[in-house]
Amino acid sequence: MLTLEEFKEKYPPETLRKEIPESPISSLRGIQYLYGKLYTLATTGGGEYAPYLTPDAASDLIDTDDSLVVVRIDLSSENPQLADDKKGAVWVTRYADDLVQKVGHCKYPAARGIDHSVTHQAGRNSDPEKLARYAKERLTKWATDEVVTDAAATHDDGWIIRELAELAESEKVLEAIENEVIASLGGESATSLLTVQVKLETDGEYRWPGELDVFNEAMRQRKLSKLVTKNKADDSSGAATDLVTGTQSRTVGTSEDPQNYFLGKQRETFPGLDIEEAWRSHPISEDAAVTVMNAETFVEACTYRTFGAKVYYLPYFFGHQTPEKAYELYELLYSAVNEDEDVTPIERAYLNSREKDISETDLRFYVSAVMPHQMSRYDVFGETLNGQLHYPKELALTHNQLVTNASAFTTNAENNWTAPLPTNENWALLSETDDRLNSVSTGWYFHQTFAERDDEDADADDPRIEALVSVLSGNAIAVDVLLEEYVARIIDEESGDDEFDGFPSFLVASQFAQLCALADENLKLLTTTDPAKEPITRQPHYEQIIMDTLETIIATDGGHPAGSKLESFINETPALAPSRDDSDGSVTAERRGAFLLGALVGDVGSYQEYSEDRSTTLVDQYPVKSITRSRIKKVAQETIAKTLTYTRQEKKSGQSYPGTKADHIVDRLRETILNPDPDDWEIDTDDLRFYYALGVTYGMNDHPDWGKLQSDETDESEEEH
């Protein structure tokens, strides 16, 4: 395959402009056709027969021992005969780069049968007897094939093929070929291409199949015949407008596809499909179909696997195609084929776009995920032509910035109190990481937060793969699905076998960070049809530091930072924040009540664990799976009662409280949870449970920043001395 420099040299702009379609890409077939064109130019060159050749099929044989077995036939006299010169009737040599065009190989990807070209590729490590049989079949099978003989009958040089077929009737000739092959291989097995050379004039040279039009035309006709006869069709072809080029031509209905779409077995794609009339449902011309098939190398280089599905991420340039765009696209595709780096196509495209300063608005992607099944059936997820690198890249950057800079996850330098939610450098979603784009690209981003499956491979309706495709293509994810997945994962973690695991606070914080990143107003990757959940899809704005100075703390909360932190977090989180048109009975108010209840349970539970040395706390007593609308009132009453008990105990021990312990939570909870009565709440269970879990995480993290306090005390001690 040509390097970019070689490609540019061989195909200057004026030459390339004539080879590529000028019209904008408007379909998957258009992308495949362009890929096929570029691949053909880079491997077999231009010309009528170039798209039909398969130079990569035997590329691993180049420059290997005994990789080319040539049956040499002299047709220069009245009676055809095997060659009798120094090289002999059978010449075993090395398949080399300069022979790729000459042998004119066209692979037929079938378990049985012969290749389309007279050149045939044998299986790996075939024994001499099998290779001898394949050598004889260049005459006995290929030259006598019905399609080949029909092509010969209408070609001026058809006599060449007819004389090969005539030789096939001679047992003496066939025996000589067999003996020569076995003797030349010395009894050793080999992986080889088998072909022929023919001499046409007495004083002429032996010529390769690729040098003679009759061999090329017979190869072409044989390959075309397969495009109309797959799946037991007799002749699925007819005159129609080619959907790729827009020209009137003979179109075929059962051609192959690099992505296995539009197959005859895919009856659900075309209900009531008649195989013979398939060309009407999906008309593609013969030459376009073959060019599309040649896209496979580039298509495969731009795919990767995750959750058992195959993700296609195929780059192309928006608008009319130009030589300049073709060069840039070829560079992307060439690097995808030849670079060994273990990165996804998304990461490679990101790196290339930065290095080459490629406009991300011009660079688009076809995105889909395919789940293969038996019998060549496939489920296709979220197919789109409008994928942009912007979405996975920006999601990765947004998430990193959120957990490192946003006040919801970072402690104010002026404040000796923890951030609202915890971070942890050992949790990928709670720390900045350089491989976030890889996490997003592979779906690991959702694997960490969604419900776990017994089988790591995705099902036909697996929300992990659907979420991945949505992000790659820029389509919004239903927030209802996220909440369902989040809660299921939380409950799984809560009821795990490890008794020391405790409440999964880092998981909940990770889920919330993901939820916030997806809600970014520049991405808009969250959606819902439920007006009650609409606030969850809005982006929180945590960039503003919660408490700037000690004076602000005293002014807003009587000198205690916990109350100001809670008020700011609620007000800056749209899913929880009161609004002017918020009635007491709104779902947002109910969600806020669930959060506050969780915050109090988490706060008291932490107190029980660290001050009371209790092995079972309120957090254990009221797990997420136990929280329902009907239990909210009881849990709230019991938790507030427990808070009052601890307040009285501490006052008896000499500690002075101006009010109730954790009163910054209790007061707000009382306001929220009693009006309306929780029995009349309308909030969905998943919504209720997730924000209760978020509250528990908040409450467990709601305490002085011990590390900051110790650091401040050390600094003060050093200043005194």
DSSP output for 604-664: HHHHHHHTS--SS-HHHHS-GGG--HHHHHHHHHHHHHHHHHHHHHHHHTT---SS-TTHH
Q: Which residues pair with 91 in a beta bridge?
A: 70
Confidence of residue 649 (pLDDT cuts 50, 70, 90): confident
Residues 79 and 195 in one domain: yes
Q: Which of 19-23, 180-184, 396-400, 430-434 has the lowest mean pLDDT?
A: 19-23
Confidence of residue 709 (pLDDT cuts 50, 70, 90): very low
CA atoms within 13 A on the CB side of 688: 19
Q: Is residue 597 part of a domain?
A: yes
The helix (run of H) or strand (run of E) holding residue 311 is strand 309-317
CB of 21 closer than 8 Å to CB of 322: no
Location of structure tokens 């971070």: 423
Q: Is residue 272 part of a domain?
A: no
Is the pLDDT at 159 greater than 80, yes or no? yes
Q: Is residue 447 part of a domain?
A: no
Task: Please give the Cα distance from 601 to 693 (Å, whole number).
Answer: 10
Residues 594 and 692 in one domain: yes
Q: Is the dihedral of CA 504, 510, 513, 517 positive or negative?
A: negative
Q: Is residue 4 part of a domain?
A: yes
Is the pLDDT at 205 greater than 80, yes or no? yes
Residues 192 and 322 in one domain: no
φ/ψ bin of 412: left (φ > 0), alpha (ψ from -120 to 50), beta (otherwise): beta
Helix (H, G, I), strand (E, B), or coil: what is residue 270?
coil
Is the pLDDT at 556 greater than 90, yes or no? no
Is the pLDDT at 169 greater than 90, yes or no? yes
- Mean pLDDT (whole number) for 136-164: 95
Is the pLDDT at 659 greater than 70, yes or no? no
Closest to 139 (Cα-Cα) out of 122, 114, 103, 156: 114
First to last CA, the chain: 74
Q: Is the dihedral of CA 623, 624, 628, 633 positive or negative?
A: positive
CB of 420 closer than 8 Å to CB of 698: yes
Q: Is residue 106 part of a domain?
A: yes
CB of 449 closer than 8 Å to CB of 507: yes
Q: Is residue 311 part of a domain?
A: yes
Most confident of 99-108, 246-255, 706-715: 99-108
Per residue in 208-255, pLDDT (tens digit) is 999 999 999 999 999 888 877 766 667 777 888 878 888 888 887 767
How confident is the model at residue 412, as a pLDDT?
65
How confident is the model at residue 614, as a pLDDT?
81
Residues 5 and 93 in one domain: no
CB of 467 closer than 8 Å to CB of 450: yes
383: DSSP letter: E
Task: Please give the Cα distance from 562 to 546 (Å, whole number).
Answer: 11
What residue numbers bound the domain in which 74 lies?
59-222
How confident is the model at residue 580, as a pLDDT?
65
Is the pLDDT at 369 greater than 50, yes or no? yes
Of 205, 222, 239, at which residue does a domain stop?
Answer: 222
Residues 78 and 212 in one domain: yes
Is the pLDDT at 713 greater than 50, yes or no? no
Domain count within the chain = 3
How confident is the model at residue 670, as a pLDDT?
87
Closest to 375 (Cα-Cα) out of 228, 223, 229, 231: 231
Is the pLDDT at 657 greater than 60, yes or no? no
Residues 197 and 82 in one domain: yes
Confidence of residue 111 (pLDDT cuts 50, 70, 90): low
Residues 203 and 311 in one domain: no
Q: Quick one: the chain helix, strand, coil %, rounded to 5?
A: 50, 10, 40
Task: Please give the Cα distance from 416 to 703 (Å, whole number).
Answer: 9
Q: What are all long-range contacts of 76-83, with beta carbons under 8 Å and residues at least 24 apart?
A: 76/199, 76/200, 76/201, 76/202, 76/204, 77/202, 80/163, 80/164, 80/166, 80/167, 81/167, 81/173, 82/167, 82/173, 82/176, 82/177, 83/197, 83/199, 83/206
Q: How does the average pLDDT of the chain come out, rounded?
A: 85
Of 388, 403, 427, at which residue does a domain stop?
Answer: 388
More confident residue, 688 or 283: 688
Of 166, 187, 222, at which residue does a domain stop?
Answer: 222
Residues 70 and 205 in one domain: yes
Q: Is residue 410 part of a domain?
A: no
CB of 197 closer than 8 Å to CB of 204: no
- Residues with Cβ within 8 Å of 464's Cβ and at least 6 positions away in sequence, in order, are 307, 443, 446, 447, 450, 458
User: What dihedral do alpha carbons 488, 491, 493, 494 form, nearest 10°?
Assistant: 170
Task: Please give the Cα distance from 527 to 474 (Å, whole number).
Answer: 12
Residues 70 and 16 in one domain: no
The pTM of this model reads: 0.81
- Mean pLDDT (whole number) for 415-422: 82
User: Would you call 485 exposed, middle or buried from its count of C-beta atoms within 10 A (0-12, 13-18, 19+)?
Assistant: buried
Residue type, 433: T
Residues 111 and 171 in one domain: yes
Residues 11 and 107 in one domain: no
Within 10 A of 671 (CB to CB), how many other CB atoms are there? 14
Residues 322 and 183 in one domain: no
Closest to 506 (Cα-Cα) out of 581, 449, 555: 449
Q: Percentage of residues in the chain with pLDDT exceeding 90?
A: 54
Q: Is residue 701 part of a domain?
A: yes
How confident is the model at residue 256, as a pLDDT?
72
Task: Please give the Cα distance from 10 to 333 (Å, whole number).
Answer: 17
- Residues with Cβ within 8 Å of 143's Cβ and at least 6 positions away in sequence, in order, are 118, 149, 161, 162, 164, 165, 168
Task: Please give the Cα distance from 545 to 720 (Å, whole number).
Answer: 31
- Mean pLDDT (whole number) for 57-84: 93
Helix (H, G, I), strand (E, B), or coil: what is residue 94?
coil
